[in-house]
């Protein structure tokens, strides 16, 4: 039985993760964590677990920690997991380059699955984008449009950025060299070879992403739309299973789903 600890237990994603762990026949909720000032502290959730804030005590019971919180909190949890020898599934987005580098360095000590989106469908979409980017490299402009709920604090979404990274890598570039994140005023003609991003925020949109490959006389659109966070939660459970017995390393959802083995 995989002993799972969940961070951000009172949040929307945390509640979904707890339900997913409770519904998985091979997993057991070992601990549920929240901020020290959370009104949820002391509440009882699945498996009779009481929501607490003592990270060290939670990790002492866990095989893996699943974290969908904020970058600063996740990095603190990361350091604690490394000290305790506990594997980690990280779905948090909005990290700085320094934060990503710390995750990569820590993965030399513990196994980590780190992905901007844990959804199975999203990661299949990323593989399709890799194929499209190689085939449509010449004569097509690339634009990425994403929409999320009004409460999301980072933009573009981590998933949109990952889509851009996959496309850029497939075309032999780096996203940092070709991304365009904002357009305003007299911008001039679109520069060839760039990848544009557009962000929509509002309402309760869970997560919509569309990539457009725009050519002369035609366009190809590849979209993924989430209507529930349950897909992220189920993907996280698959990631937790994947990490059992794995050596220290930095993994992503392509590793979890076996998509790296598929050539395009």
Domains in the chain: boundaries: 2-114+229-261, 120-226
> What residues are labeled active site?
148, 152
Sheet containing strand 179-180, strands side by side: 179-180, 195-201, 141-148, 207-215, 218-226
Q: 152 pLDDT exceeds 70?
A: yes
Q: Mean pLDDT over residues 126-146, rounded?
A: 97
CATH 1.20.1740.10 for the 2-114+229-261 domain, yes or no: no
- pLDDT, tens only, 31-52: 999 999 999 999 999 989 999 9
Helices (H), the chain: 12-23, 55-59, 71-84, 97-106, 120-135, 158-170, 175-178, 230-243, 253-257
**Which positions ≥6 away from 213 have C-beta within 8 Å?**
132, 133, 136, 140, 141, 142, 219, 220, 221, 222
3-state class (DSSP) for residue 47: helix
3-state class (DSSP) for residue 182: coil
- Global pTM reads 0.82
120-226 belongs to which CATH class?
alpha beta
- pLDDT, tens only, 89-130: 999 988 999 999 999 999 999 999 999 889 999 999 999 999
Determine how many CB atoms are found less than 10 A away from the CB of residue 254. 18
Query: What is d(CA 212, CA 222) in angstroms, rounded to the nearest whole number?
Result: 7
Tell me what percent of the residues of the chain surpass a pLDDT of 90: 92
Residue 50's beta-bridge partner residues? 44
Domain 2-114+229-261 matches domain 120-226 at the CATH topology level:
no
């Amino acid at each position: 039985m995989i002993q799972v600890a969940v961070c951000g237990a009172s949040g929307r994603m945390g509640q979904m993760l707890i339900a997913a762990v409770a519904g998985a026949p091979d997993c057991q909720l070992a601990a549920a964590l929240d901020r020290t000032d959370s009104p949820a502290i002391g509440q009882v959730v699945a498996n009779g677990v009481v929501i607490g804030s003592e990270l060290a005590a939670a990790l002492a019971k866990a095989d893996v920690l699943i974290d969908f919180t904020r970058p600063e909190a996740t990095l603190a949890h990361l350091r604690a997991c490394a000290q305790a020898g506990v594997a980690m599934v990280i779905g948090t987005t909005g990290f700085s380059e320094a934060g990503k580098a710390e995750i990569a360095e820590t993965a030399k000590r513990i196994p980590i699955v780190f992905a901007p989106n844990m959804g199975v469908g999203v990661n299949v979409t990323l593989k399709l984008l890799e194929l499209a980017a190689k085939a449509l490299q010449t004569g097509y402009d690339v634009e990425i449009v994403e929409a999320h709920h009004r409460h999301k604090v980072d933009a573009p979404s981590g998933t949109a950025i990952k889509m851009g990274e996959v496309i850029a890598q497939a075309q032999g570039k780096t996203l940092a060299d070709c991304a365009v994140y904002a357009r305003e005023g007299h911008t001039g003609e679109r520069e060839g070879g760039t990848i544009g991003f557009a962000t929509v925020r509002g309402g309760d949109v869970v997560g919509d992403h569309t990539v457009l490959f725009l050519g002369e006389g035609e366009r190809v659109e590849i979209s993924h739309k989430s209507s529930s966070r349950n897909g992220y939660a189920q993907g996280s459970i698959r990631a937790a299973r994947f990490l059992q017995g794995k050596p220290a390393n930095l993994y992503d959802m392509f590793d979890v789903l076996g998509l790296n083995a598929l050539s395009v």
